Amino acid sequence: MKLSQALLEALESLSGNKLRSGLTVLGIVIGVAAVIAMLAVGNGAQASITGSISSIGTNLLFVFSGAPQDQGGPGGGGGRSGNNVRPLTLADAEAMSDPLVAPSVAQVAPALQGRGAVAYAGENSSTTINGVTPTYYAVRNLELAEGEFINEEHILGRMSVVVLGPDTADNLFGRHEGVVGETIRIEGQPFRVIGVLVAKGGGAFGSEDDGVYVPFTTAQARLLKHESYNQVDIIFAQAASAEAVPTAVEEISAVLRQRHRTPVGADDFSVLTQQDFLSTFSAITNVLTIFLGGIAGISLLVGGIGIMNIMLVSVSERTREIGLRKALGARKRDILLQFLTESSLLSFIGGVIGILFGWLIAFVIGKIAVASGTDFVPIVGSNAILLSTSFSAAIGLFFGIYPASRAANLEPVEALRHE
């Protein structure tokens, strides 16, 4: 039997039981659509996270107090986990910014960080308080939607001024335009709003948009006090270029080892790069994508069982037909080909419809994300389509083999006597 003839007979057989064939195809459709939609969500999440991290610069370095194993991964904070750990100080930041000692380091921005309450006209919010210097703006690659950023005058005067992240502005004022000049309270103290940042989305330490930025000296004296007056929570450094990042890491490490008097291998500090965070988040999102795809793959497995079930029923109903075909000269492989073609056709039709349906689900999820203000776009990749279609084809063949083999092995005489 030729493949084309087997295909025509399969179409004729399946069209004779439209409802049953349709319900069988539905299992494959749901499985393929689920796989494609889940992988699209995983790929979109990975692209959104890596894009947000990359947007703040590929040459950005993060310097923490505490050995690397004490950081607990990205976002570990100031690393004050051990009694023998020497905290980072303003003097450390000044030493890093010396062009003679660290020529690959372009700019350095020490910062204080903590959580605190902000309020305006009865609206209260808990957010991140950042005590920063003027260089923080360039090092973190920030942009202003309106107003100005912290400058040297604010630092020297320990002024009560604040720059708001757009999310914080929305929480307090219900808008993030036209708020410059307003007065808010941070930890009960009045601060005048001098600027609002452009939205940037999530970063290595959570959302860059939910926070307030005050002069370093103001935070140092009134908001984020430490045991040592010159202590800082984190130092951000900007390498001269993306290519200079490895050299800048070595130079910063050498400076801190000398200042902290620690031997190589016993550092009480950590220097992380954007690539470190990208690698970590990529690993997390890859695991998430595989997990989601695996759950969706169960639907495909259920669809395959449905194909086997319907083919077994078909074999039972068409026993006399199979006996007649064999009596007229049909070979075992002809019967096998016929039933495998039917199961594969069911799987193929379900796979094609599932691809379209999965793409539609991903499209709708993307539209919902945009409507809710979330910077997230599901990505339907060619690998997801190939994986789901290949898996559905394999499911059709695998679960069609037993019914097809059972039909092919029927004895003609017994089949013709079947009622």
What size, in residues, is the chain?
Answer: 419
Burial 326-350 (b: 16+ CB within 10 A, else e): beeebeeebbbbbbbbbbbbbbbbb
**Cα radius of gyration (the chain):** 32
Residue bearing the bigger pLDDT, 54 or 350: 350
> Which of 130-134, 216-220, 371-375 has the least mean pLDDT?
371-375
Q: Which tens digit of pLDDT belongs to each residue from 130-183?
A: 999 999 988 888 888 899 999 999 999 889 999 998 888 888 888 888 888 899
The pLDDT of residue 30: 83
Which of 267, 236, 284 is CA-nearest to residue 59?
A: 236
The pLDDT of residue 213: 93
Residues of the chain above pLDDT 90, percent: 10
How is residue 294 written in tokens?
């695996």
pLDDT category of residue 349 using cuts at 50, 70 and 90: confident
**Sequence ranges of the domains in the chain:** 3-53+279-417, 86-267
pLDDT category of residue 77 using cuts at 50, 70 and 90: very low
Q: Tell me what the mean pLDDT of segment 22-45 comes to.
A: 81
How is residue 93 written in tokens?
């930041």
Residues of the chain above pLDDT 70, percent: 77
The pLDDT of residue 338: 75
The pLDDT of residue 75: 41
The distance in angstroms from the start CA to the end CA of the chain is 27
Dihedral (CA of 141, 147, 149, 152) sign: positive
